[in-house]
Amino acid sequence: MRWLQNLVEPVKRSPPPPAGHAAGAAPDVRRPAPSLPADRIVSIDVIRGVAIAGILLINISYFLSRAGQSPASRGTDAVIWQVVDVLALGKFHFVFAFLFGTGVFIFLSRLRAKGRSRWVYIRHAISGLSNLQLPSLIAVVGFFIGGLLMTWIFLPNILQF
């Protein structure tokens, strides 16, 4: 893991002053700034793009079936779909998930290098809940609790009679 930490160490340079501030004025350190384009790791972005293309390749048969193509393929088409299934099925999802974990590791290591708390990441993840995701989360938790209540409290009492 040390090689990955060496790979993602931030470049030691000072960010440009925010707009509206004088060059000698201290920037507002409470608000995190986005990464500079030079700090991005291009190889991870390229591998992530290949993984997304592979996921598209896996799902293309579903897309074609919804467009009206018959699901039964013959001849060369059958061979191509078999090769896609053998070479791609399940592998690109794993690569994409692995790169997500790598991105989180890089993000947390850069936070630590800047002297910031990991709670910045947690707060960022929680604030990412949009207006559609938060009600969905509440509904899922509610159905889970309702299912537990129904299974362990209400049904045993109903079935006793």
pTM of the predicted protein model: 0.52
**Higher pLDDT among residues 64 and 103, named by residue:** 103
Confidence (pLDDT) at 98: 93
Domain ranges within the chain, ordered by starting residue: 1-7+39-116, 125-156
**Higher pLDDT among residues 144 and 136, named by residue:** 144
**80-117: b or e for each residue (b if 16 or more CB lie within 10 Å)?**
eeeeeeeebeeebeebbeebeebeeebbebebeeeeee
